[in-house]
């Protein structure tokens, strides 16, 4: 088939508010996730050095800070942030709910 459509609400979350869509969309080389963050939520610090995967964080709702290699990057709805595979990153959500679309690929 030349396309696949899915409502992320129909995909079982893998954690609190984290929906991996790669398999549901039959993606071969691209990871796509939706991350819904509660007020004050803090994500796990991590990198993707082993996978060689860069990520783009698109904040579609709310406000948050993403720490990248110790630098705090303030984000508002509509902002997109690319993070290199070897860079550590950690999301710190603001005082309201927020929603990210996260895209990653090698």
pLDDT digits (tens, 9 = 90+) for 7-61: 999 999 998 899 999 999 999 999 999 999 999 999 999 999 999 999 999 999 9
Helix (H, G, I), strand (E, B) or coil at 9: helix
Q: Rounded mean pLDDT of the chain? A: 95
Q: Percentage of the chain with pLDDT > 70?
A: 99
All structural domains of the chain = 12-93 (2.60.120.10)
Q: Is 75 exposed, middle or buried (0-12, 13-18, 19+ CB in 10 A)?
A: buried
Predicted TM-score (pTM) above 0.75: yes
List the structure tokens of 30.
Answer: 């691209």
Q: Alpha-carbon distance 80 to 30, whole Å?
A: 17
User: What percent helix, strand, coil does the chain show, rounded to 5?
Assistant: 5, 45, 50
């Amino acid at each position: 088939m030349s396309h696949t459509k899915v409502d992320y609400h129909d995909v079982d979350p893998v954690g609190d508010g984290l929906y991996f869509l790669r398999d549901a969309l039959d993606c071969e080389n691209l990871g796509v996730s939706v991350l819904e963050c509660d007020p004050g939520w803090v994500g796990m610090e991590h990198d993707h050095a082993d996978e060689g995967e860069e990520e783009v964080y698109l904040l579609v709702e709310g406000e948050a800070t993403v720490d990248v290699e110790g630098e705090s990057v303030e984000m508002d709805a509509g902002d997109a942030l690319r993070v290199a595979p070897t860079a550590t990153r950690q999301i710190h959500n603001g005082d309201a709910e927020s929603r990210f679309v996260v895209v990653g690929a090698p």
